[in-house]
Copies of this chain bind each other. A is one copy, B any other.
Amino acid sequence: LTVEAGCTLRDAQRAAAEAGLLFPLSMGSEETCQLGGVLSTNAGGLAVLRYGTARELVLGLEVVLPDGRILDGLSALRKNNTGYDLKQLFLGAEGTLGVITAAVLKLFPRPHSHETVLLAVTNLRAACEVLVAVRATLGDCVTSFEFVTHEALGLVLRHLPDSRAPFGGAVTHFVLLELSVRAGDTHLRSAVEALHKQLLDDGVVQDGLVATNESQRAAWWRLRERIPAAERAAGGSVKHDVSVEIGDLAQLTESAAAAVKQLVPNSRCSIYGHIGDGNLHFNVLAADGADPLLFREQHAAAISDAVHRCALALGGSFSAEHGVGQLKRGLLRQTKSPVALDLMMRLKASLDPKGLMNPGKML
Protein backbone atom coordinates (compact mmCIF):
# COMPACT_ATOMS: atom_id res chain seq x y z
CA LEU A 1 0.00 0.00 0.00
CA THR A 2 1.58 3.29 -1.10
CA VAL A 3 0.65 6.35 0.97
CA GLU A 4 1.73 9.98 1.17
CA ALA A 5 3.25 11.26 4.39
CA GLY A 6 0.13 13.28 5.20
CA CYS A 7 -2.14 10.23 5.14
CA THR A 8 -3.55 9.51 8.60
CA LEU A 9 -3.13 6.20 10.34
CA ARG A 10 -6.88 5.70 10.16
CA ASP A 11 -6.92 6.23 6.38
CA ALA A 12 -4.08 3.74 5.95
CA GLN A 13 -5.94 1.18 8.07
CA ARG A 14 -9.10 1.73 6.02
CA ALA A 15 -7.33 1.45 2.67
CA ALA A 16 -5.76 -1.83 3.79
CA ALA A 17 -9.14 -3.15 4.96
CA GLU A 18 -10.71 -2.25 1.62
CA ALA A 19 -8.07 -4.43 -0.02
CA GLY A 20 -9.07 -7.25 2.36
CA LEU A 21 -5.81 -6.88 4.29
CA LEU A 22 -4.53 -5.45 7.56
CA PHE A 23 -2.17 -2.57 8.34
CA PRO A 24 -1.54 -3.52 11.95
CA LEU A 25 -0.13 -0.30 13.35
CA SER A 26 -2.67 1.06 15.78
CA MET A 27 -2.59 3.85 18.36
CA GLY A 28 -6.00 3.04 19.76
CA SER A 29 -8.14 6.14 19.89
CA GLU A 30 -5.48 8.46 18.45
CA GLU A 31 -5.55 7.36 14.81
CA THR A 32 -5.44 10.86 13.33
CA CYS A 33 -1.65 11.00 13.44
CA GLN A 34 -0.01 11.16 10.02
CA LEU A 35 2.15 8.45 8.54
CA GLY A 36 5.09 10.83 8.06
CA GLY A 37 5.28 11.36 11.80
CA VAL A 38 4.53 7.74 12.63
CA LEU A 39 7.47 6.58 10.50
CA SER A 40 9.86 9.36 11.49
CA THR A 41 9.38 8.46 15.14
CA ASN A 42 9.27 4.67 14.61
CA ALA A 43 5.99 4.63 16.51
CA GLY A 44 4.95 1.55 18.45
CA GLY A 45 1.33 1.29 19.45
CA LEU A 46 -0.89 -1.55 20.55
CA ALA A 47 0.18 -4.49 18.37
CA VAL A 48 3.99 -4.37 18.51
CA LEU A 49 4.10 -7.73 20.24
CA ARG A 50 2.76 -9.41 17.12
CA TYR A 51 3.62 -7.07 14.24
CA GLY A 52 6.56 -4.90 15.32
CA THR A 53 7.09 -1.15 15.38
CA ALA A 54 6.65 1.22 12.42
CA ARG A 55 10.15 0.42 11.14
CA GLU A 56 9.13 -3.20 10.61
CA LEU A 57 5.99 -2.24 8.69
CA VAL A 58 7.61 -0.34 5.82
CA LEU A 59 8.75 -1.76 2.48
CA GLY A 60 9.76 1.47 0.74
CA LEU A 61 10.26 5.18 1.39
CA GLU A 62 10.43 8.41 -0.57
CA VAL A 63 12.56 11.01 1.19
CA VAL A 64 13.49 14.59 0.42
CA LEU A 65 17.16 15.01 1.35
CA PRO A 66 18.68 18.10 2.96
CA ASP A 67 20.09 19.23 -0.40
CA GLY A 68 16.66 19.04 -2.05
CA ARG A 69 17.25 15.82 -3.97
CA ILE A 70 14.66 13.08 -3.73
CA LEU A 71 15.51 9.53 -2.71
CA ASP A 72 12.92 7.52 -4.61
CA GLY A 73 12.67 4.26 -2.71
CA LEU A 74 8.97 3.53 -3.16
CA SER A 75 9.56 -0.13 -3.80
CA ALA A 76 7.16 -2.82 -2.65
CA LEU A 77 9.72 -5.62 -2.83
CA ARG A 78 9.74 -7.92 0.16
CA LYS A 79 13.37 -8.87 -0.38
CA ASN A 80 16.04 -6.69 -1.97
CA ASN A 81 19.65 -7.01 -0.84
CA THR A 82 21.29 -4.56 -3.21
CA GLY A 83 23.46 -2.26 -1.16
CA TYR A 84 22.75 -0.49 2.11
CA ASP A 85 19.08 -0.41 3.11
CA LEU A 86 18.87 3.38 2.97
CA LYS A 87 15.29 3.67 4.24
CA GLN A 88 16.50 2.48 7.66
CA LEU A 89 18.39 5.78 8.02
CA PHE A 90 15.22 7.85 7.92
CA LEU A 91 12.85 5.61 9.88
CA GLY A 92 12.93 6.78 13.49
CA ALA A 93 15.37 9.63 12.73
CA GLU A 94 12.82 12.25 13.85
CA GLY A 95 13.26 14.19 10.60
CA THR A 96 16.89 15.05 11.33
CA LEU A 97 18.31 13.44 8.16
CA GLY A 98 15.55 14.15 5.62
CA VAL A 99 11.81 14.49 5.24
CA ILE A 100 9.77 11.34 4.58
CA THR A 101 7.20 12.27 1.91
CA ALA A 102 5.69 8.88 1.00
CA ALA A 103 5.94 5.21 1.94
CA VAL A 104 5.00 1.73 0.84
CA LEU A 105 3.44 -0.04 3.82
CA LYS A 106 3.58 -3.76 4.50
CA LEU A 107 0.16 -5.37 4.83
CA PHE A 108 -0.85 -8.62 6.50
CA PRO A 109 -3.63 -11.17 6.20
CA ARG A 110 -6.67 -9.83 7.96
CA PRO A 111 -7.64 -11.83 11.05
CA HIS A 112 -11.23 -12.97 10.96
CA SER A 113 -12.02 -11.79 14.47
CA HIS A 114 -10.57 -11.23 17.93
CA GLU A 115 -10.70 -12.66 21.39
CA THR A 116 -10.32 -10.02 24.08
CA VAL A 117 -9.55 -11.06 27.64
CA LEU A 118 -9.44 -9.04 30.83
CA LEU A 119 -7.66 -10.52 33.84
CA ALA A 120 -7.42 -9.13 37.36
CA VAL A 121 -3.95 -9.60 38.90
CA THR A 122 -2.44 -8.62 42.21
CA ASN A 123 0.82 -7.24 40.83
CA LEU A 124 3.07 -6.82 37.81
CA ARG A 125 4.94 -10.03 38.55
CA ALA A 126 1.72 -11.97 38.15
CA ALA A 127 0.98 -10.08 34.92
CA CYS A 128 4.37 -11.16 33.56
CA GLU A 129 3.61 -14.74 34.57
CA VAL A 130 0.39 -14.52 32.58
CA LEU A 131 2.35 -13.21 29.59
CA VAL A 132 4.71 -16.18 29.65
CA ALA A 133 1.84 -18.66 30.00
CA VAL A 134 -0.21 -17.06 27.24
CA ARG A 135 2.64 -16.94 24.76
CA ALA A 136 3.63 -20.52 25.53
CA THR A 137 0.08 -21.77 24.98
CA LEU A 138 -1.37 -19.47 22.35
CA GLY A 139 1.82 -18.31 20.68
CA ASP A 140 1.70 -15.72 17.98
CA CYS A 141 -2.06 -15.24 18.14
CA VAL A 142 -1.37 -12.72 20.92
CA THR A 143 -1.45 -9.27 19.34
CA SER A 144 -1.70 -7.02 22.41
CA PHE A 145 -0.74 -7.50 26.02
CA GLU A 146 -1.39 -4.43 28.15
CA PHE A 147 -1.05 -3.93 31.89
CA VAL A 148 -2.88 -1.29 33.94
CA THR A 149 -2.36 -0.63 37.65
CA HIS A 150 -5.31 0.01 39.92
CA GLU A 151 -4.01 3.56 40.40
CA ALA A 152 -4.23 4.25 36.67
CA LEU A 153 -7.65 2.58 36.49
CA GLY A 154 -8.75 4.64 39.49
CA LEU A 155 -7.86 7.87 37.69
CA VAL A 156 -9.99 6.87 34.70
CA LEU A 157 -12.96 5.88 36.88
CA ARG A 158 -12.76 9.08 38.87
CA HIS A 159 -12.13 11.64 36.15
CA LEU A 160 -13.97 10.24 33.15
CA PRO A 161 -17.59 10.01 34.22
CA ASP A 162 -18.87 7.47 31.70
CA SER A 163 -16.32 4.79 32.67
CA ARG A 164 -17.15 1.73 34.76
CA ALA A 165 -14.99 -0.67 36.75
CA PRO A 166 -14.86 -4.01 34.95
CA PHE A 167 -14.93 -6.57 37.78
CA GLY A 168 -18.18 -5.67 39.50
CA GLY A 169 -16.72 -2.44 40.85
CA ALA A 170 -13.46 -3.83 42.22
CA VAL A 171 -10.58 -1.56 41.27
CA THR A 172 -7.66 -3.91 40.63
CA HIS A 173 -4.54 -4.11 38.53
CA PHE A 174 -5.50 -5.77 35.28
CA VAL A 175 -4.12 -7.27 32.11
CA LEU A 176 -5.89 -6.63 28.82
CA LEU A 177 -4.92 -9.03 26.11
CA GLU A 178 -6.10 -9.58 22.63
CA LEU A 179 -5.68 -12.51 20.28
CA SER A 180 -6.34 -12.56 16.58
CA VAL A 181 -8.39 -15.41 15.21
CA ARG A 182 -8.36 -16.79 11.68
CA ALA A 183 -11.61 -17.69 9.95
CA GLY A 184 -13.31 -20.77 11.34
CA ASP A 185 -10.89 -21.20 14.24
CA THR A 186 -13.45 -22.13 16.86
CA HIS A 187 -10.80 -23.77 18.93
CA LEU A 188 -9.09 -20.60 20.07
CA ARG A 189 -12.06 -19.62 22.24
CA SER A 190 -11.92 -22.90 24.15
CA ALA A 191 -8.12 -22.66 24.43
CA VAL A 192 -8.50 -19.16 25.87
CA GLU A 193 -11.12 -20.38 28.32
CA ALA A 194 -9.01 -23.35 29.39
CA LEU A 195 -6.00 -21.10 29.99
CA HIS A 196 -8.17 -18.64 31.88
CA LYS A 197 -9.43 -21.40 34.17
CA GLN A 198 -5.90 -22.71 34.69
CA LEU A 199 -4.62 -19.24 35.65
CA LEU A 200 -7.51 -18.83 38.10
CA ASP A 201 -6.92 -22.27 39.61
CA ASP A 202 -3.19 -21.57 39.99
CA GLY A 203 -3.96 -18.27 41.69
CA VAL A 204 -1.99 -16.29 39.09
CA VAL A 205 -5.09 -14.24 38.28
CA GLN A 206 -7.89 -13.28 40.67
CA ASP A 207 -10.70 -12.83 38.22
CA GLY A 208 -11.14 -12.91 34.47
CA LEU A 209 -13.54 -12.15 31.65
CA VAL A 210 -13.60 -13.05 27.96
CA ALA A 211 -15.40 -10.42 25.87
CA THR A 212 -18.69 -11.66 24.50
CA ASN A 213 -19.37 -8.74 22.18
CA GLU A 214 -17.74 -5.77 20.49
CA SER A 215 -19.13 -3.15 22.84
CA GLN A 216 -17.66 -4.95 25.83
CA ARG A 217 -14.33 -5.17 24.01
CA ALA A 218 -14.47 -1.46 23.16
CA ALA A 219 -15.33 -0.54 26.77
CA TRP A 220 -12.32 -2.44 28.11
CA TRP A 221 -9.99 -0.83 25.57
CA ARG A 222 -11.36 2.59 26.53
CA LEU A 223 -10.27 1.97 30.12
CA ARG A 224 -6.74 1.47 28.82
CA GLU A 225 -6.71 4.17 26.18
CA ARG A 226 -8.18 6.93 28.27
CA ILE A 227 -5.55 6.87 30.98
CA PRO A 228 -3.63 9.81 29.43
CA ALA A 229 -6.87 11.84 29.28
CA ALA A 230 -7.62 10.95 32.91
CA GLU A 231 -4.14 12.07 33.95
CA ARG A 232 -4.71 15.38 32.19
CA ALA A 233 -8.09 15.76 33.92
CA ALA A 234 -6.37 15.08 37.24
CA GLY A 235 -4.03 18.03 36.65
CA GLY A 236 -1.34 16.38 34.59
CA SER A 237 1.55 14.03 35.31
CA VAL A 238 5.31 13.73 35.01
CA LYS A 239 5.49 11.21 32.19
CA HIS A 240 8.03 8.52 31.43
CA ASP A 241 8.24 6.03 28.61
CA VAL A 242 10.71 3.42 29.77
CA SER A 243 11.55 -0.08 28.62
CA VAL A 244 13.53 -2.98 30.06
CA GLU A 245 13.64 -6.69 29.34
CA ILE A 246 10.33 -8.25 30.33
CA GLY A 247 11.94 -10.19 33.17
CA ASP A 248 13.06 -6.89 34.73
CA LEU A 249 9.72 -5.06 34.57
CA ALA A 250 8.64 -5.85 38.11
CA GLN A 251 11.99 -4.78 39.53
CA LEU A 252 11.85 -1.56 37.51
CA THR A 253 8.46 -0.55 38.89
CA GLU A 254 9.42 -1.49 42.44
CA SER A 255 12.66 0.44 42.43
CA ALA A 256 11.24 3.46 40.56
CA ALA A 257 8.16 3.63 42.83
CA ALA A 258 10.39 3.49 45.92
CA ALA A 259 12.65 6.23 44.55
CA VAL A 260 9.68 8.45 43.70
CA LYS A 261 8.06 7.94 47.12
CA GLN A 262 11.31 8.93 48.76
CA LEU A 263 11.41 12.17 46.76
CA VAL A 264 7.73 13.10 47.16
CA PRO A 265 6.09 10.84 49.74
CA ASN A 266 2.45 11.50 48.83
CA SER A 267 2.81 11.49 45.04
CA ARG A 268 0.75 9.00 43.06
CA CYS A 269 2.13 6.67 40.38
CA SER A 270 0.00 5.90 37.32
CA ILE A 271 1.70 2.92 35.74
CA TYR A 272 0.48 1.14 32.63
CA GLY A 273 1.68 0.05 29.23
CA HIS A 274 2.71 -2.50 26.69
CA ILE A 275 4.35 -5.02 28.98
CA GLY A 276 4.45 -7.56 26.16
CA ASP A 277 7.11 -5.27 24.68
CA GLY A 278 8.82 -4.52 28.00
CA ASN A 279 7.51 -0.97 27.76
CA LEU A 280 5.86 0.86 30.64
CA HIS A 281 4.45 4.32 30.99
CA PHE A 282 5.49 5.26 34.51
CA ASN A 283 3.73 8.53 35.21
CA VAL A 284 3.75 10.45 38.48
CA LEU A 285 1.00 12.76 39.76
CA ALA A 286 0.84 15.21 42.64
CA ALA A 287 -0.68 14.06 45.92
CA ASP A 288 -4.47 14.20 45.93
CA GLY A 289 -5.42 17.83 46.61
CA ALA A 290 -1.93 19.25 46.01
CA ASP A 291 -1.35 21.86 43.30
CA PRO A 292 -0.27 19.86 40.23
CA LEU A 293 1.52 22.78 38.57
CA LEU A 294 3.57 23.53 41.64
CA PHE A 295 4.26 19.80 42.04
CA ARG A 296 5.68 19.52 38.55
CA GLU A 297 7.66 22.72 38.88
CA GLN A 298 9.28 21.57 42.09
CA HIS A 299 9.71 17.85 41.51
CA ALA A 300 9.49 16.90 37.82
CA ALA A 301 13.24 17.06 37.16
CA ALA A 302 14.22 15.01 40.21
CA ILE A 303 11.45 12.46 39.63
CA SER A 304 12.38 11.96 35.98
CA ASP A 305 16.00 11.65 36.86
CA ALA A 306 15.19 8.94 39.42
CA VAL A 307 12.87 6.97 37.11
CA HIS A 308 15.31 7.09 34.20
CA ARG A 309 18.16 6.01 36.48
CA CYS A 310 16.17 2.96 37.53
CA ALA A 311 15.53 2.00 33.88
CA LEU A 312 19.12 2.59 32.82
CA ALA A 313 20.47 0.63 35.79
CA LEU A 314 18.61 -2.39 34.40
CA GLY A 315 20.00 -1.85 30.88
CA GLY A 316 16.76 -0.22 29.86
CA SER A 317 15.76 2.74 27.72
CA PHE A 318 14.58 6.22 28.72
CA SER A 319 12.49 6.43 25.57
CA ALA A 320 10.95 3.21 24.39
CA GLU A 321 8.59 4.62 21.81
CA HIS A 322 8.31 8.41 22.07
CA GLY A 323 11.76 9.36 20.81
CA VAL A 324 14.18 12.06 21.88
CA GLY A 325 12.88 15.34 20.43
CA GLN A 326 13.91 18.42 22.39
CA LEU A 327 13.11 17.22 25.90
CA LYS A 328 15.44 14.24 26.04
CA ARG A 329 18.46 15.57 24.15
CA GLY A 330 20.38 15.97 27.37
CA LEU A 331 19.55 12.43 28.41
CA LEU A 332 20.74 11.11 25.07
CA ARG A 333 24.08 12.88 25.49
CA GLN A 334 24.48 11.66 29.06
CA THR A 335 23.56 8.04 28.54
CA LYS A 336 24.65 6.87 25.09
CA SER A 337 28.13 5.46 24.77
CA PRO A 338 30.72 7.84 23.25
CA VAL A 339 31.09 5.45 20.30
CA ALA A 340 27.35 5.48 19.58
CA LEU A 341 27.14 9.26 19.94
CA ASP A 342 30.11 9.71 17.62
CA LEU A 343 28.49 7.47 14.98
CA MET A 344 25.25 9.44 15.23
CA MET A 345 27.08 12.73 14.82
CA ARG A 346 28.98 11.34 11.85
CA LEU A 347 25.74 10.24 10.18
CA LYS A 348 24.21 13.64 10.77
CA ALA A 349 27.30 15.46 9.45
CA SER A 350 27.48 13.19 6.44
CA LEU A 351 23.83 13.48 5.38
CA ASP A 352 22.99 16.97 6.62
CA PRO A 353 26.29 18.87 6.84
CA LYS A 354 24.57 22.24 7.12
CA GLY A 355 22.29 21.10 9.94
CA LEU A 356 19.13 22.11 8.11
CA MET A 357 16.88 19.23 9.06
CA ASN A 358 14.77 19.64 12.21
CA PRO A 359 17.47 21.62 14.05
CA GLY A 360 17.52 21.40 17.82
CA LYS A 361 15.99 17.91 17.83
CA MET A 362 17.58 14.68 18.97
CA LEU A 363 21.29 15.54 18.59
Contacts and interface: CB of A to CB of B under 8 A. Distances in A.
Interface in A81-122: 81-86, 88-89, 91-93, 97, 108-112
Contact of A89 (B84, B136, B139, B244): B84
Contact of A69 (B111, B187, B339): B339
Q: How many copies does the complex hold?
A: 2
Contacts of A48: 78-79
A325 to B, nearest CB: 10
Chain A's interface size range is 35 or more
A79 B320 contact: yes
Given A20-B136, A109-B136, A79 B243 contact: yes
A79 B277 contact: yes
Given A20-B136, A88-B85, A346-B351, A278 B316 contact: no
A186 B182 CA distance: 13
Nearest to A65: B339
A44 interface: yes
A186 B187 CA distance: 8
A343 interface: yes
Instruction: Give the dominant DSSP class at A's interface.
Output: loop
A83 B65 CA distance: 19
A340 interface: yes
A135 interface: yes
B65 A317 contact: no
A150 interface: no
B318 A82 contact: yes
B185 A340 contact: no
Given A108-B140, A186-B187, A42 B81 contact: yes
B138 A77 contact: no
Interface stretch (A49-57, A161-169, A228-236): A49-57
B92 A85 contact: yes
Contacts of A315: 75-77
Nearest to A186: B187
Contacts of A20: 136
Contacts of A191: 182, 184-185
Given A52-B56, A315-B75, A350-B350, A344 B137 contact: no
A141 B91 CA distance: 28
B140 A336 contact: no
A145 B20 CA distance: 20
Given A277-B78, A277-B79, A323-B81, A343 B182 contact: no
A356 interface: no
A317 B347 contact: no
Contacts of A245: 76-77
A139 B92 contact: no
A324 B84 CA distance: 10
Contacts of A328: 82
Given A20-B136, A184-B187, A346-B351, A279 B79 contact: yes
Interface string A308-350: 0000000111111111100010011001110111011011011
Nearest to A183: B137
Nearest to A52: B56
Q: Nearest 6 CB-CB pairs, A to B? A: A88-B88, A109-B139, A350-B350, A80-B317, A79-B320, A139-B182
11 contacts: A76-B315, A77-B243, A81-B319, A83-B362, A84-B93, A109-B138, A139-B183, A184-B187, A185-B187, A346-B351, A350-B350
